[in-house]
Homo-oligomer: A and B are copies of this chain.
Amino acid sequence: MKIRCQKADLLKGVNFVSKAVPTKTTMAILECILIDASSGEIKLTANNMELGIETIINGTIEERGIVALDAKIFSDIVRKLPDNEVTIETDASFNTKITCEKAKFFNVGKSGEDFSYIPVVTRNQPIIISQYTLREIIRKTIFTVPDKDNNKMMTGELLEIKDGKLKAVALDGHRVSIRYVDLKDATNDVNVVVPKNTLNEIIKIIDGGVDDFVNIFVTDNHIVFEFDQTTVVSRIIQGEFFKIEQMLSADYETKVKINKKDLLDCIDRANTIVNEGDKKPIIVNVSDNVMSLSVTSFIGSMNEDIDIVKEGKDIMIGFNPKFVMDALKAIDDEEINLYMLNAKSPCFIKDDEGTYIYIVLPVNFNNPGAN
């Protein structure tokens, strides 16, 4: 094989597919990036068996062929090359020479014959969505999905399309994050749970704006994201996602309108006297026009009043400060609405336009009268 391409194109491709290189694996071939120039195009592929990424880069093929190169070393080398034309050349034993200007690298590649290509997926009609929208809807919910959980279903995020609306739902045992977006083009209904890891990588590589689009295909076992010259294929998590509909119809007794930044800064301050792992709740005391936050720990105590507009009953309720902060950080609105029923029922943060719902379960507090 002998190919020539620009360093910038090669680096972009390598950075894309590297996201699918497993950090730990017993199959050495999966630690490689496959360069496939056996047909008329230069294709880079990496695959960790859950997530596979393939991208075509611009360049010239002087001699067709295939080689698999250790991903870490290859991407290190490419990153450090001068910004100029790169030549990659292999002999019959897959000894590989990478040349750029006066720099020459020699290392040993593999044949790639036992490399796992990304699965071939039947492409039905695509769901078309702007890269910006997909990235934002994932970014603003994904933090809720736990990194690990015995329940496999909980390590994924639900992407559901119904009546031309895309809904993303992420949850753990203490909170639920839901985002909605209207799709421009009518499309088939979809209901699929995608692993957190896949979505985390997707939001890193779809870095386009509102006018850059990604085509999504869903099959029984896979979800495919296609954009520009890149294809990302991920397994989906089989089974039915958690029923959350009955939660959403919850009633409320107290509605609080509050400045988001004021609340976020206040909880951030409260956190300074809570050691990590302490699990000290912040106690929220809502009365007319004032929400008083307080926290007491082994270190000391803190309290602060925030101006609010209140409708309904007074309430005293405790929260895990991290969960509230995570939700607030995912909201762009300047003013937000909190809906609460009682000290045992979840608090809803949602907007009137119906673009988001963040639900946080309260926690018990033993000493509500502190300070």
Contact = CB atoms under 8 A, between A and B. Distances in A.
A305 B104 CA distance: 9
Interface stretch (A75-83, A251-259, A315-323): A75-83
A282 to B, nearest CB: 13
A236 to B, nearest CB: 37
B272 A73 contact: yes
A366 interface: no
Contacts of A81: 269
A175 to B, nearest CB: 23
A304 B106 contact: no
A302 interface: yes
Given A104-B304, A304-B102, A304-B104, A80 B269 contact: yes
Interface in A270-295: 271-273
A49 interface: no
A27 to B, nearest CB: 19
A268 interface: yes
A301 B299 CA distance: 57
A108 interface: yes
A105 B273 contact: yes
A271 B79 CA distance: 12
A300 B104 CA distance: 11
B266 A103 contact: yes
A94 B59 CA distance: 72
Interface string A55-93: 000000000000000100100110111100000000000
A265 interface: yes
Nearest to A275: B73
A103 B302 contact: yes
Contacts of A104: 302-304, 371
B306 A102 contact: yes
B108 A300 contact: yes
A303 B107 CA distance: 12
A302 B76 CA distance: 13
B304 A269 contact: no
